[in-house]
Amino acid sequence: MALGACAAVPPPETAVLQPLPPSGLVGMAGSELPQYLGPPSLRRHEGAAEIWQYAAPECLLYLFLYLDQGRPVIRHAEARDRRRRPADVAGCARAIGAQRAAARANAAGG
């Protein structure tokens, strides 16, 4: 897989994360995503897709965004465990959200 421009994105120290919607991530606008998972650990472009990567100790979540009426929308999601085996997307997303919420609470002294 060829990598285009990669950019590491530092996590913000404020923003409160919301629980993931029951409908899942596919179909969600990219602008909505940070309220659930925070900013991605890595963003890269491959062809028409923008790929956002999120990381937790136990898994990696890859979200594939494509333009839909001028705005990026998640069209595909996949997760891998740290041995690169397929993992449950929803479970990985919940783990990432929980990890980031805990990190923010610790940073805030709570």
Domain-located, residue 78: yes
Low-confidence ranges of the chain (pLDDT < 70): 1-16, 110
**Predicted TM-score (pTM) of this structure:** 0.80
Q: How many domains does the chain have?
A: 1
Domain encompassing residue 80:
18-107
Q: Taking a C-beta distance cutoff of 8 angstroms, is the pair 93, 86 a contact?
A: no
pLDDT tens-digit map of 3-12: 445 555 444 4
Q: In sequence order, which residues have a C-beta less than 8 Å from that of residue 81 and are 6 or more positions away?
A: 58, 59, 87
Q: Give a yes or no: residue 13 inside a domain.
A: no
* pLDDT tens for each residue of 32-47: 999 889 899 999 999 9
What CATH number does the domain containing 26 carry? 3.30.1450
